[in-house]
Structure 1
Amino acid sequence: MSDMYLIGIGLALVMALVGLYNNWFQSSECCNDNWISLNRKGLENDLAYKLFGQHIANEVILKAIKGSLSTPVPKKPLTMSLHGNSGTGKNFASQLIAKNLYKNGMESQHIHMFVSTLHFPHLQLIDQYQNELRAWIRGNVTKCPRSMFIFDEMDKMHPGLINAIKPFLEYTNDVDKVDYRKAIFIFLSNTGGDKISEFTLGFLMDGKERESIKLDHLEEDLSLAVFNNNNSGFWQTNLIQANLIDHFIPFLPLEFKHVVLCVRAELASKGVEGNENIITTIASTMVYYPKEEKILSLKGCKTVASKVNLYY
């Protein structure tokens, strides 16, 4: 066997190992601008054209995210509390943020989602949950300051757990030598949904345009409702008393026209270009209220996917 042949084999082996290393390196998510970088235009378009019927949430979320990430050293972690009835798009909004901030979207190792009834189901274990939650947040922010934490079903979360994360949301340079100011905390809750729906229904029945509903109409009443409702999770918690939640964001109940858009989007996700008559028919199978006027969808777009499956 010639020396040149052996050299050729050796070179091929080296190149193969380099290729494997490069593939591993490129697929191994890091905490840097290659993996975490805000796609401003992408987020703006997704909120405008995919999150249906939520002009207030679109505007507030976009400004809040852009403002926080454009500041080299924020004064505190960005903390947003999203409120509204089921099916109005709160979870979807957090997914759109993830998609346009993290290269791997919701699959990013720097995004951490907690569901109250799944992760903290036992009241008698609250002390253990508090310690584990603090350790988890501390450990992940230590690894990546631009970590995002999403808490779903906040209305079912024990106030003790919410108070446990208060130190991480403060206006402070560090907590036990860890800086949390670049982290993002998003809370999702149904609390206040009835108040938001009641206001929206009255507004529409007075003949006013939905898009003329402003954040000012709802934000103060919403924060008070969340604070004073003993089923809110936030009830009497230090987070609200210390003004650590930057934005209370209302998600309005959806109208028939928004459900139509949801049906069309669901069909598109299946690669189906739906007939407009079919789309209207599917949207019409949803439940609307009040009974006579049928102005607002009772479940938003929550069950659209299952309705579409009946037809396709």
Structure 2
Amino acid sequence: MHPRKKHVLLILLLLLSSKAEELDPVSTTIAVGMAVGAAGVTGFLSTSIFYYFKESCRPVWISFNSTRLKTDLDNMLFGQHIASRIILKAVNGFMSNTNPKKPLVLSFQGWTGTGKNLASQFIAESIYSKGMKSRHVHLFTSTFHFPHKHMINTYKSQLQQWVRGNVTNCERSLFIFDEMDKMHPGLIDSIKQYLEYYDNLDGVSYGKSIFIFLSNAGGQDITNTAVEFWKAGKGQTEITLKDLEKTLSLSVFNDQNGGFFHTSLIEKNLVDFFVPFLPLKEIHVVRCAMAEMKARNLRPNREVANKVARDMIYFPKDERVFSSTGCKTVKHKLNFYI
């Protein structure tokens, strides 16, 4: 390469480093334009520069970081030894497969505040440079996106278009469906064909996408199992997936008010893993409070964290073993003590 072009490329690399964030968009655009013009570099290079600044479906924006996922699950998903193990193995295996036969489909089950949304966030952040803010991560909330039962046929058509259009744009897309227990039965079946074992449908391949369903359905069964283990004098970490998996799929399938009610996704075994999220104990709530203080750039204070945890409602009532709301209200209660 000509020395002059090497010099210009060095300037471009510096601009594309973290220091470039300190420049305003206009200055950055002008600087890059001048550098490219000075070097006489066009075509491939100018296109590459464009993709460095504008998110695209390219490795510079989408690159799986297994170490980050493991670290986040180990350090910030509290009390969820089963979920952490399943998620890490499932996502690792899927992302390392260069030609998966079907999308990865995960269903996160458990009461509110146990970490389902947090785990989804960790998956997004381990794959996409912009995490949950990536244009390739799509979050649907049942009560917001699909509120009216009489419009279910319209929603079915829209959902098919949204999924097909976004996967066409980027095969490494992530779809998260929150509040599945509040979704109108039958709606989610509209995308069944996209989750099956097809090389492509009308020229679109869905095999490299990930679908995650979040639901409170099955939460009572999970809690009952945790209480039974506690009454038997067993530790919560002794609970295994086998103790919950069959009960979970059946309770979700038979939940008449939920989006999985008699769904073909379960009948056809298209959900790869039903991931149980266990109820949290007081020690887990303390850890949540400590993590929240650290996230706010505050010095973690164990005494404050203990006060927040003691303020929670627990069950069984007399023994105060499990938090009724998990870590959901920790942020607001922390404001009071800080």
Shared fold (TM-score greater than 0.5)? yes
1:266 to 2:310 alignment = no
- Aligned equivalent of 1:296: 322
- Give how far 1:15 is off: 5.4
Higher RCO (Cα < 8 Å, 6 or more apart): 1
Alpha-carbon spacing, 1:18–1:187, altered in 2? closer, same or farther (3 Å): farther
The separation in 1 between residues aligned to 2:85 and 2:103, in whole angstroms, is 19
What TM-score results when the alignment is normalised by the length of structure 2? 0.86
1:52 to 2:68 alignment = no
Alpha-carbon spacing, 1:122–1:288, altered in 2? closer, same or farther (3 Å): same
- Aligned equivalent of 2:213: 187
- Check whether the contact 2:184–2:257 (CA below 8 A) recurs between aligned residues: no
1:214 to 221, 240, 252: 240
The separation in 2 between residues aligned to 1:59 and 1:179, in whole angstroms, is 28
The separation in 2 between residues aligned to 1:187 and 1:23, in whole angstroms, is 36
- Give how far 1:275 is off: 2.8
- Aligned equivalent of 2:41: none
Alpha-carbon spacing, 1:16–1:34, altered in 2? closer, same or farther (3 Å): closer
Structure 1: 5+ residue runs without aligned partners?
A: 1-12
- Aligned equivalent of 1:36: 62
Number of equivalenced pairs:
300
1:283 to 2:299 alignment = no
Q: Give the letter aligned to residue 178 of structure 1.
A: V
- The CA RMSD measured in Å over matched residues stands at 1.6
- Give how far 1:249 is off: 0.4
1:66 to 2:95 alignment = no
Q: Percent identity among equivalent residues?
A: 49
1:305 to 2:331 alignment = yes
The separation in 2 between residues aligned to 1:25 and 1:216, in whole angstroms, is 45
The separation in 2 between residues aligned to 1:310 and 1:15, in whole angstroms, is 48
**Mean Cα deviation higher: 102-111 or 15-24:** 15-24
- Aligned equivalent of 1:17: 33
The separation in 2 between residues aligned to 1:51 and 1:91, in whole angstroms, is 10
The separation in 2 between residues aligned to 1:189 and 1:166, in whole angstroms, is 18
1:232 to 2:248 alignment = no
Q: Give the letter aligned to residue 227 of structure 1.
A: F
Q: Could you report, residue by residue, the CA deviation over 1:201-247 in whole angstroms, capped at 9, with x for unpaired residues? A: 11012111111111011001100111112123101011111110000
- Give how far 1:286 is off: 0.6
The separation in 2 between residues aligned to 1:76 and 1:16, in whole angstroms, is 41
Shift >3 Å, 4+ stretches? 13-16, 18-25
* Aligned 1:64-213 pairs, distance under 5 A: 64-213=90-239
The separation in 2 between residues aligned to 1:190 and 1:165, in whole angstroms, is 21
